[in-house]
Amino acid sequence: MNTHKAFILGVALLSTIGVKAQFAIDNYKAVFTSSPQHVPTTKTPDAPLAGNGDIGITMGGTPDKLCFYIGKNDFWRAYPVYPGGIALPGGLDIEIKELQGATYYAEQLPGSAEIRTKFTTPHCQLNLSAWVAATDNKIIIELQSDKAVTAHLRLWAAEGNTSTTAGGKDKVMWVSRSFENTELLRWPTHVALALNSNSDEFSLIPGKKVQLVISVYTNHDTPDWKNKAITEVEKVTEAGVEQLRKEHHSWWNHFWKQSHINIGDSYFEKYYYQSQYLFACSSREGKFAPGIWGPFVTRDEAAWGGDYHLNYNYQAPYWASFSSNHISLTDNFDQPLLDYMEAGRKHAQELLNCKGIYYPVGIGPKGLCTAMWPLTPEEMQEKYSTRENTIDGGYKFLGQKINAVFSVGNMLMRYYSTYDEAYARKVYPYLLACADFWEDYLSLENGRYVIRMDHFNEVMPNKRNGGVWRNRLGDFNSTLSLGLVRMLFQGVMDMSDFLSIDKIRQSRWQDILEKLSEYPLGIGEDGRQSLKNMEKGPQDKEVRPSGLNRVSIHGLILPAGVVGPMTDAAFNTILLEDVAHWSEKQRDPNDWGNTSNNGIETCYPGAVRVGYPSDKILSYLKKRIEMDVYPNSWIVQGGGGIETLAAVPLTINEMLLQSYEGVIRVFPNWNHKKDASFENLRAYGAFLVTSTLKEGLIQGVTLVSEKGRVCKIENPWKGHPVQVIRENGKSDILYGEYLQIPTVAGEKVELNLYTN
């Protein structure tokens, strides 16, 4: 699309946001012209998707034999060893023989959160719509044909993997699946699917729409899970479905009104909104947090159990939601971490003789550990080429001590973004427990605190290394660890001040911050100073600098946020130079930053933060998207699933607005020759920010202060005075590189270039 035309489209969309946001966002639909090829799968499906943050549907199959796979974030086989983890409840098959060989056309509409299809043969045309009610545990599938045809239905529960199933048919059709009474199962899970039909076939009459409604409940929703599912679909009426539709559209309309961007580029805007749509389909306030694949599970034995993988996969999907002002999507993040604290204390005490909490690489809901080594030496030998199944007490820590602290990054993002006191009180005990651990674990040597035996990369036996792995243990001062520990102690101090508690402990925390080892640097083969992954490797081996990469970005930039141009401009310059040399190290010409297996949501926004030119980043990002993306707009990588949904929104948000280091920056890394605008992006300090860049000039900045904090903002018009206009009509003229603006809660403040 012509850039100028794309910008006009964006402006038109922005002007409609206050009216019917979801229908404007539907312009960024994903289109399918062939049947899915990766369904069922243990990883990312390539099919049309819809969901409500708890229940997800994946539309697989061909037009004549459709299969709706039904996933649910709280349906787990609560077993501590893979193949435990998230499981598949079941699905609905719809067979219409007249559609054999039909042309395939489907749309995934992000605004209205709906799948729409048109299947055509010389004999008939079928229009289908499918959506998951945003405010209820119901799936609605609507069908309409231009010719009389017969549809055959099969509601089914997945089988096997130690589960039991049941089913029945009276006024409605229902099936159930349960995990219970199995040795080592930590807690039972039951699910029921009920369909508003007692027949396995129905006729489609021209001009008449048929509505299939499936109700889905687990025992985590209600103790009366089966009866609830059955009685709810027994009561379904056409009027009831229409009311659900109104509530559904209202929810999504509100969601899309929370923020908006326009960058004059319909390609990236599509991935921006589709990514946010897919994450909103995956995560919801008051529901179980999504695992690696969200609710889009199409078979048991999902890769890595579909668990909460704590060395970045669990945290990363949420990162864009903070700046995009979708805070409610992050509400479920903390509970699994809080639920595991008791077990984490035992791990710290029994395995390391330390206070505080120590977490393995994988957990699940309700205090579940998903990542234990196989229970027998024989299984261990088969999978990992060693019979030693008692490593670290049988738990997979993979040489890393930092897993619990990794999640502090998300907690601090939300805290700094909202300054919500109730939230701070909820998570402060977790931060304090992490601080307890690291106060105990850090070693003061020669006047500085050092970190031993916390590893930059996962260290474990596997078939590739023949089960020999201990020779890789011994990292000293991992960059990942140094950055995240610095983030932790600065964060716990900030929260301690905010809540006015534990002030007596701050002197120790400040001492750690002042004496913690510096990030390791070295001179590379090209004579350039560059970042090292660790100060020394196993057996005190010298380590060559490898430059800023995905894992070190986690420790320094995302989620840590402990470096930047204000914190240390010279160090930031070194990191920027490292990014500038990524092209020399990429394994594939289309994979800048080497993100094909992991890290697209980390490397691209990380490059933005250090100041690499935005046009180059977007050029590389487009190549990376095209390298591996599915028709449903899900960018694919080998080592994980929904974390990639943060990649495009976070990259673009960081180009348009930054607020780490306590300073708001408007269009900090955007080509000012390109018009752009954003509305209600969220900044640290609990500010909502709106601004427009047109013809090279920032037109103005609007700040809404939620908590009445002082706003520190970099002067949007460098070297020029700024007029600050308040809602009460008062105005001030401010000067300088950084402006300090006192605010009151709920106040709107306008900033404009001051001209006499």
pLDDT digits (tens, 9 = 90+) for 308-325: 999 999 999 999 999 999
Mean pLDDT of 504-512: 98
The pLDDT of 331-345, averaged and rounded, is: 98
Residue 11, pLDDT > 50, answer no
User: What is the CB neighbour count within 10 angstroms for residue 636?
Assistant: 18
* Beta strands at 65-72 and 76-77: parallel, antiparallel or unpaired: unpaired
Read off the amino acid at residue 265: D
d(CA 609, CA 658): 8
Is residue 729 predicted with pLDDT exceeding 90?
no
Of 614, 741, 714, nearest in space to 658 by CA: 714
Q: Which amino acid is at 100?
A: Q
Query: In which region does residue 253 sit, left (phi positive, over 0), alpha (psi from -120 to 50) or beta (all else)?
Result: alpha
Instruction: Give pLDDT tens digits for 382-392.
Output: 999 999 999 99
Domain end, chosen from 515, 546, 562, is at 562
Q: How far apart are the first and last CA of the chain?
A: 40
Assess whether 401 and 494 both reside in one domain: yes
**Domain of 707: which CATH number?**
2.60.40.1180
Evaluate if residue 9 carries a pLDDT over 70: no
Q: How many CB atoms lie under 10 A from the CB of residue 336?
A: 22
The answer to whether residue 17 scores a pLDDT higher than 80 is no
Question: Tell me, what's the pLDDT at 756?
Answer: 76
Peptide bond preceding 40: is omega within 30 degrees of 0, i.e. cis? yes
CB 676 within 8 A of CB 706: no
Residue 204 is assigned to a structural domain of this protein: yes
pLDDT at 20: 57
* pLDDT tens per residue, range 401-450: 999 999 999 999 999 999 999 999 999 999 999 999 999 999 999 999 99
Mean pLDDT, the chain, rounded, equals 95
346 lies in the same domain as 488 = yes
Exposed/middle/buried for residue 566 (C-beta within 10 Å: 0-12, 13-18, 19+): middle
Final residue before a domain boundary, out of 660, 683, 700: 660
pLDDT score for 6: 31
Q: Is residue 11 part of a domain?
A: no
pLDDT value for 234: 96
The C-alpha R_g of the chain, in whole angstroms, comes to: 27
Q: What's the average model confidence in pLDDT over 602-610?
A: 98
In a domain, 139, yes or no: yes
- DSSP result, 280-291: HHH--TTSPPP-
User: Residue 317 carries which side chain, given as an amino acid letter?
Assistant: P
Closest CA to 216 of 320, 111, 139, 123: 139
Contacts of 50 (CB under 8 A, 6+ apart): 56, 57, 108, 113, 114, 115, 130, 131, 132, 281
Nearest to 77, CA basis, from 185, 5, 201: 185
* pLDDT higher than threshold 60 for residue 710: yes
Give the per-residue pLDDT at 159. 97
Sign of CA dihedral 274, 279, 284, 285: negative
3-state helix, strand and coil shares in percent for the chain, rounded to the nearest 5: 35, 25, 40
Inform me whether the pLDDT recorded for 58 exceeds 60.
Answer: yes
Report yes or no on 26 lying in a domain: no
DSSP assignment letter at 684: T
Residue range 325-352: mean pLDDT, rounded: 98
pLDDT in tens, 174-186: 999 999 999 899 9
Would you say residue 173 has pLDDT above 50? yes
User: Is 446 in the same domain as 588?
Assistant: no
Q: Which residue has the higher pLDDT, 673 or 22?
A: 673
Give the residue among 645, 587, 589 at the shortest CA–CA distance from 620.
589
Please report whether residue 670 resides in a domain: yes
| pLDDT tens per residue, range 356-379 | 999 999 999 999 999 999 999 999
The full 3-state SS of 439-502, as one line of letters, equals HHHCEEECCEEECECCCCCCCCCCCCCCCCCHHHCCCEEEHHHHHHHHHHHHHHHHHHHHHCCC
CATH number where 126 lies: 2.70.98.50
Check whether 470 has a pLDDT greater than 60.
yes
Please give the model's pTM, rounded to 2 decimal places.
Answer: 0.96
Residues in Cβ contact with 346 at an 8 Å cutoff, skipping those fewer than 6 apart: none
- Structure token digits, residue 153: 């239905």
pLDDT tens digits, one per residue of 260-318: 999 999 999 999 999 999 999 999 999 999 999 999 999 999 999 999 999 999 999 99
Average pLDDT, stretch 486-498?
98
Report the interhelical angle of 600-610 vs 647-656 (nearest 10°).
10
Instruction: Answer yes or no: is pLDDT of 5 > 70.
Output: no
511 with 628, same domain?
no
Q: What is the pLDDT of residue 10?
A: 37
**Residues 482, 596 within the same domain:** no
Hey, how many other C-beta atoms are within 10 angstroms of the C-beta on 306?
A: 31
- Tell me, yes or no, whether 573 and 548 share the same domain: no
- What is the residue whose two structure tokens read 């948000």? 653
Residue 343 structure tokens: 């077990």
The tokens of 560 are what?
A: 């840590």
> For residue 2, what pLDDT is reported?
34
Tell me: do 204 and 342 sit in the same domain.
no
Q: Is residue 428 part of a domain?
A: yes
Distance (Å) of CA 48 to CA 66, 67, 102, 747? 12, 11, 17, 42
DSSP symbol at 588: S
361 neighbors 386 (Cβ within 8 angstroms): no
Q: How confident is the model at residue 21 (pLDDT cuts 50, 70, 90)?
A: low
Distance CA 49, CA 47 (A): 6
478 touches 554 (CB < 8 A): no
Question: In Å, how far are 122, 155, 653 from 203, measured between CA atoms?
Answer: 19, 17, 49
State whether 215 and 336 are in the same domain.
Answer: no
Predicted confidence (pLDDT) at residue 225 exceeds the cutoff of 60: yes
702 with 730, same domain? yes
Domain encompassing residue 175: 32-259
In a domain, 488, yes or no: yes
pLDDT tens-digit readout, 663-699? 999 999 999 999 999 999 999 999 999 999 999 999 9
In the chain, % of residues over pLDDT 90: 94
Can you tell me the mean pLDDT for 142-171?
Answer: 96
Instruction: Give yes or no: residues 198 and 115 share one domain.
Output: yes
Residue 266 within any structural domain of the chain: no
Same domain for 454 and 368? yes
User: What pLDDT score does 22 carry?
Assistant: 66
Compute φ and ψ for 367, nearest 5 degrees: 75, 15
User: Is the backbone peptide bond immediately before 83 cis, with ω within 30 degrees of 0?
Assistant: yes
From 562, 593, 617, the end of a domain falls on 562
Question: Residue 82: which residues within 8 A CB-CB, separation 6 or more?
Answer: 301, 304, 305, 370, 371
Helix (H) or strand (E) holding 652: helix 647-656
* 655 and 693 belong to one structural domain: no
- Looking at the 3D structure of the chain, how many domains does it have? 4
**pLDDT tens figures, 611-622:** 999 999 999 999
